[in-house]
Amino acid sequence: MCGIVGYIGEKNAQQIIVEGLRKLEYRGYDSAGVAVWTGTELLLDKAEGRLAVLEERLRQKPLSGSLGIGHTRWATHGKPSDENAHPHTDQSGAFAVVHNGIIENYLAIKEELLAKGYTFKSETDTEVIAHLLADMYDGDLVSTVKRAVQRMRGAYALGIMSAHEPDKLVAVRLASPLIVGVGSGENFIGSDIPAILEHTRDVYILNEGEMAVLTRSGVELLSVESGERIERELFHVEWDLVQAEKGGYDSFMLKEIFEQPQAVRDTIGPRIDEANKRVVLPELKMSDEELASFDRIYIVACGTSMHAGLVGKELIEKLTRVPVEVAIASEFRYRDPIVTPRTLMIVISQSGETADTLAALREAKQKGVKVLAITNVVGSSVSREADEVLFTWAGPEVAVASTKAYTSQVVVLYLFGLYLAQAKGTQTTEQIAEVVEQLQQLPAKITAVLQDTDGVRRFAESIKDVTSLFFIGRGLDYAVSLEGSLKLKEISYIHSEAYAAGELKHGTLALIEEDVPVIALVTQPDLYDKMISNIVEVKARGARVLGFAQEGDTELAKTVDQVVHIPATLPFLSPVLTVIPLQLLAYYASVARGNDVDKPRNLAKSVTVE
């Protein structure tokens, strides 16, 4: 995820900013840059690659001054490169901007600015902001920023400085995190607390729609919309640096679980045509005709990404009636899959570097198959080698156990399924609009799930000493069970198996005996009665059952020992919600057993060997 640091005071801005950026390295990035007001001009340097590359350049040609902004970029619009690195400036070089997040309507603003004769040096949405500020500047930086921001839709955090008013640093927050550090005769901005912790522990945490104007002697908080001053108590940070990197959470995994509303919102955000409630995927190069011509889809991936693919299979088939086969990459690469010119392959990979997935992609391309990649890392091998790419905007995932990448992958699959349905005409405009509306409500519903975790925590603590347990479900619930089971295995080391509930009686039921925990997912109305029968089967053998049902369900509680409710949504969107308590279950079980949640034994974050 991108990082922002800004400084205004009396000290060496470049040094403070680069040190701050180093504290944000754990978030992942692919380029870095700094802009400083030297007293006479606004100068900047930026470079693709590690911070050390930028540092070497700055060592040779330092930027000296006491006002500046810096950035580490995790590529979104445009590949990792010197040109696309932040800060970005306008044509005259008077405005410098660093930016986290996404400006959804940047293309419309860019076209307007192009028509006025502005020229662009990068592929980023951020550069648009610098030109827009220059275009709108009326002699007052604060009022210009306010008016410019009101034109920008999206989720973002900004740090802005201008050669016209080199006594100010302006920060704006809309959905992406941003804080202001308050010092004595100096003030700071940061996208995260570790960036400034060395200099001050007193911070203002900006809320959505707020801006901060920093001078050397003070900080003013304002509402972007009304321009009114906001009074806020300073927050005194008690965390040490490691705690601060985890945002105050006990582990990166927990932090990433709690980042899911944001990850899903960012992934959906720019891909909806609000006026018509349809999906738009401008990043796809293929035409609707080509898209509509596919008559068979393979989804190929490993582990959690493959589990996202299993959800994708169900929903793409439901929306488009195109047959979808999900394959484990390490299997797919050695078989001789049946492909035709009308076959589409979708590879899913958080890291974009998984060896088996990459090999399967290459194998398919050799056979002339069109490959669409879903990945979280811009510039990754998978993103470079695939014909088409849809990025998940989940931000870097640090914990080995994948959480926010999974939900974001599933969301991209919904978007793609809807888009394919639009191209093929297999769903009506009204049907598409209904799913789109429900999709947009998911971030708020994930937040609701995350606010009520007691039931799951209690159950997790109760299983900490068991040696084996089972997950059961049907249809989409079975697909989610597989992911719940994998998560539990990998971080708690408790053996578990996920079973299609109807399959239990063909053998595995022999393992169900007194007090064996069974986790039953029951969110699909069409399969409800069948699931109840399967739960009764395991209860009759003494199983202790935790059931998951949609809000409003009062029946399940009569059959199981404990129920966890998830917010009501369209049944076929429920995987995005049901998986959250399963991630938490694995997390709490792992903590209860005293394991290192972020670094489970024998596992690596990115499996780049076969």
Catalytic residues: 2, 605
CB of 310 to ligand F6R, least distance (A): 13
Pick one of 66, 357, 408, 427: the residue that binds ligand F6R (CB under 6 A). Answer: 357
Which residue, among 186, 207, 274, has the nearest Cα to 7 in the 3D structure?
A: 186
- Applying CB under 6 A, the site for ligand F6R has a residue count of 14
CB of 354 to ligand F6R, least distance (A): 3
Pick the piece of the chain touching ligand F6R (CB under 6 A) from 9-17, 36-44, 267-275, 299-307: 299-307
Which residue, among 519, 503, 510, 524, has the nearest Cα to 568 in the 3D structure?
A: 524
Pick the piece of the chain touching ligand F6R (CB under 6 A) from 135-143, 236-244, 261-269, 300-308: 300-308
CB of 347 to ligand F6R, least distance (A): 9
R_g of the chain, CA atoms, integer Å? 25
Site for ligand F6R, residues 476 to 495, rule: CB under 6 A: 490
Q: How many CA atoms lie within 13 A of 429 on its CB side?
A: 4
Give the residue ranges of DSSP H helices in 137-225.
141-150
Site for ligand F6R, residues 191 to 210, rule: CB under 6 A: none
The CA distance from 401 to 421, in Å, is: 32
Pairs from 220-223 (Cβ < 8 Å, separation ≥ 24): 221/180, 222/142, 222/146
Pick the piece of the chain touching ligand F6R (CB under 6 A) from 145-153, 234-242, 296-304, 335-343: 296-304
The CA distance from 386 to 446, in Å, is: 31
303 contributes a contact to ligand F6R by CB under 6 A: yes
Give the residue ranges of DSSP H helices in 225-354.
241-245, 252-258, 260-268, 288-293, 303-320, 329-332
Work out the burial of residue 594: count CB atoms within 10 Å of its CB; fewer than 13 is exposed, 13-18 middle, 19 or more buried.
exposed
CB of 467 to ligand F6R, least distance (A): 21
CB of 248 to ligand F6R, least distance (A): 23
CB of 337 to ligand F6R, least distance (A): 19
CB of 307 to ligand F6R, least distance (A): 8
CB of 26 to ligand F6R, least distance (A): 18
- Amino acid found at 68: G
Of the pair 104, 598, the CB lying nearest ligand F6R is at 598
304 contributes a contact to ligand F6R by CB under 6 A: yes
Which residue, among 73, 483, 95, has the nearest Cα to 309 in the 3D structure?
A: 483
> In this structure, what is the dihedral angle of CA atoms 346, 472, 405, 432, given to the nearest 10 degrees?
60
CB of 409 to ligand F6R, least distance (A): 8
Of the pair 53, 607, the CB lying nearest ligand F6R is at 607
The CA distance from 9 to 207, in Å, is: 24
Pick the piece of the chain touching ligand F6R (CB under 6 A) from 253-261, 297-305, 315-323, 544-552: 297-305
Of the pair 410, 543, the CB lying nearest ligand F6R is at 410
Of the pair 125, 363, the CB lying nearest ligand F6R is at 363
CB of 508 to ligand F6R, least distance (A): 23
Of the pair 439, 582, the CB lying nearest ligand F6R is at 582
x-or-dash string of contact with ligand F6R, 305-324, rule CB under 6 A: x-------------------
Report the residue number whose CB is nearest to ligand F6R.
303
* Residue 67 bridge partners (DSSP): 8, 37
The pair of three-digit structure tokens given for residue 422, joined into one six-digit string: 């639009």
Site for ligand F6R, residues 391 to 450, rule: CB under 6 A: 401-402
Of the pair 144, 407, the CB lying nearest ligand F6R is at 407
Omega before 177 within 30 of 0, i.e. cis: no
SS3 54: helix
Of the pair 106, 406, the CB lying nearest ligand F6R is at 406
Query: Which helix (H) or strand (E) element contains residue 550?
Result: strand 544-550
159 contributes a contact to ligand F6R by CB under 6 A: no
Pick the piece of the chain touching ligand F6R (CB under 6 A) from 9-17, 224-232, 301-309, 384-392: 301-309
Site for ligand F6R, residues 557 to 596, rule: CB under 6 A: none
x-or-dash string of contact with ligand F6R, 326-355, rule CB under 6 A: -----------------------xxx--x-
Which residue, among 261, 349, 358, has the nearest Cα to 304 in the 3D structure?
A: 349
* Contact status, residue 14 vs residue 54, Cβ threshold 8 Å: no
The CA distance from 311 to 324, in Å, is: 11
Of the pair 302, 580, the CB lying nearest ligand F6R is at 302
Residue 515 CB coordination number (10 Å)? 8
Phi, psi of 561 (to 5 degrees): -85, -30
Report CA 266 to chain centroid distance, whole Å: 7
Report CA 182 to chain centroid distance, whole Å: 30
Of the pair 5, 491, the CB lying nearest ligand F6R is at 491
* Contact status, residue 29 vs residue 3, Cβ threshold 8 Å: yes
The pair of three-digit structure tokens given for residue 51, joined into one six-digit string: 């911070």
Site for ligand F6R, residues 493 to 522, rule: CB under 6 A: none
Pick one of 109, 302, 415, 579: the residue that binds ligand F6R (CB under 6 A). Answer: 302
Of the pair 142, 607, the CB lying nearest ligand F6R is at 607
Q: Contact residues for ligand F6R (CB under 6 A)?
A: 302-305, 349-351, 354, 357, 401-402, 490, 606-607
